[in-house]
Amino acid sequence: MTLLQEVTHTEFTTIHDYNAIVNEGTDQRGTAILAKTGLHLQNVKRIPSGRGIAAMFQGIWIINIYAPSGAEKSGKRVLLQQ
């Protein structure tokens, strides 16, 4: 399983034997989870901004959150906390 951040393309057809669960955000960037074919993810949850995606795998939550770093991005981090 692979967690991706700042995804700008939602098509992952060239990555063989993996399925992509993508959360495209309002600014055409988002997060994604790539799971090997045959791994069954359930209860997929998405943050509307695209900055977070989560799914359950065998009773364990897999959570991918992109929170920008740096002082100039502090306003965006506050939005994620609300």
Write out pLDDT tens, residues 57-82. 999 999 999 887 766 666 665 555 55
What pLDDT is stored for residue 77 in this prediction? Answer: 55
| pLDDT recorded at residue 27 | 81
Look up the pTM and report it: 0.76
Cα dihedral angle (35, 43, 21, 29), rounded to 10 degrees?
-130
Instruction: Report the domain count for the chain.
Output: 1
Note down the domain range covering 32: 2-81
| Both tokens assigned to 65 | 């959150």
Express each pLDDT in 20-62 by its tens digit: 889 988 888 899 999 999 999 999 999 998 999 999 999 999 9
